[in-house]
Each structure stands twice: as C-alpha cells, then as structure tokens.
Amino acid sequence: MSTEPHASLFPREVTTERLRLVAADAESVDPLELYEHCREGAPHVDEVTRYLTWGPYGTVNEAFEFLETCESDFESGDAAHYAVFAGENEPEAGEFAGMAGLSPDWDRRLATLGTWLRKRFWGRGYSGERARALMRVAFDRLDLEAVVVTCHAENEKSRRAIRKYVEAAGGREEGLLRNHTRYRDGVADSYRFTVTREEWAENLGQAVEADPNAGTDG
C-alpha cells in the first residue's frame, strides 16, 4: 500500500545526479520568478523560446495561468510538468533551471517528453539527464511502450542533444514530419525520435543511475 497521502499517477519529485525535478505549481515555483525568466525582454528569452511552442510572457498573469495548468494536468493525470532545479552539488544549487514535461498518450501507450532550459544551463547535458530520468518514469512506473521526442526541424542544437540520448537508449531518429507542430512562430516541420520499451530495457533499464525514487511507492 502506498503511504503517500495523495497518491498520484506521476512521481511528485524526481532526483538525478545533478538535478531535482519537482511537479510545478504556484508553490514549487514562484510565479513572479518564472515571469522574470520568461517575460518579454528577459535575458536570452528569445533564444530560449525560438523553437518552442510558446513565446515570452506579456503579463505576470500568464505565469500564474501556466502554473495552474501544470497543477491541474498533474492532478488529472493528463501530463506531468516538472520545474527543473539545479541539484545541491551544482554551482547554482537550488536555482530554477527550466521546465521538463511528460505527456502520456494512453491510447498509443507512449509518452512524449519535452524540455526547455535557461540559457546559462545549456551545454551541460542536463537535457539528457532529465530525459533518462523521465524515460524511467514512462517505462517503469507508467508501463508505457514507447517514448517520443520531437524537435523543430531547424533546431540543430536540440536535434544533436536528443539524438545523443535517444541513441544511447537504443532508440532512433525516425524522420521528418511535415507541418507537424505549431511552434511559437507558426506551424513547422519536426524531427521525430522514438525509444521503445525493449530498446530502453536493453540499454538503460538495468542502470542504477540515480533513481532514489525507486521503491517510494512500495
């Protein structure tokens, strides 16, 4: 039996070697701080959001609304949106680094992963570390059959990063989907990547890598 007072479909917290992922809501993330990182004119915000599905916030209210959506998606089981914080041994220990999402599609038995990081956290392999942790959630906890990732066709940096962690998990880039996603600046092509449960189990499933959450539902 679970001893959690409010058992949830998704783990509320996922810890990796260098990161802490916490279910995002207006408690775990200060909406005013989120706004500071995401508002129009915030440092690097255009670069960060260039290939994302949303653009910089015009008002503080958008930060509140976003966090409310995160919370209701989490409670309903529609999606898990995690705030990513630098781990305690990182130079910016405890700082808000970005967001990470996991959206299950139960009919297709797959989860789609997505993420964005503040620019100062780029280039450290955080995205891959976050992906490995959420793949484990998708396969081990949610019992799904595949993990899907897409990226804007022109986003070379993300494509390289995704390819790296997808291939390490035994998965592959599948090809280009035309007009597949509505991004910030309109509809554009996406590359699609998949990792199946079998591929993951063979390549990463046994890895004991930083899974302090294992067993908390026992």
Partner 1 sequence: MAECYPRVLETERLRFEPLHEVDPQEYYRFRRDQPPEVYAYLPFEPPETPREAADTLASAREDWDGRSRAMYAVRPTDGEDAGELAGETMLATQWDRRVAWLGLILGKRFWGRGYSGERADAMLEVGFDRLDLEYVAVVHEVGNENSRRAVERYVERHGGRREATLRHWAPAEGGDPPDEAYHAVPREAWETRRGP
E-assigned strand segments in the chain:
13-15, 19-23, 80-86, 96-105, 110-117, 146-152, 172-183, 186-196
Give start and end residues of each alpha helix (H) in the chain. Answer: 31-38, 45-49, 60-76, 126-136, 156-168, 197-200
CB of 178 to partner 1, least distance (A): 4
Interacting positions 150-189 with partner 1 (CB under 8 A)? 174-180, 182, 187
Write out the binding residues for partner 1, residues 112-151 only, by CB under 8 A: 145-146, 148
User: Which span (7-15, 65-73, 105-113, 156-164) binds partner 1, by CB under 8 A?
Assistant: 105-113
Closest CB to partner 1 among residues 176, 207: 176
In terms of CB distance, is 6 or 178 closer to partner 1? 178
Map residue 21 onto helix, strand or coil: strand
Please, is 170 exposed, middle or buried when counting C-beta atoms within 10 Å of its C-beta (0-12, 13-18, 19+)? Answer: middle
Candidate residues 103, 168, 192, 211; the one interacting with partner 1 per rule CB under 8 A: 192
User: Which residues contact partner 1 by CB under 8 A?
Assistant: 107-110, 145-146, 148, 174-180, 182, 187, 192, 194, 196
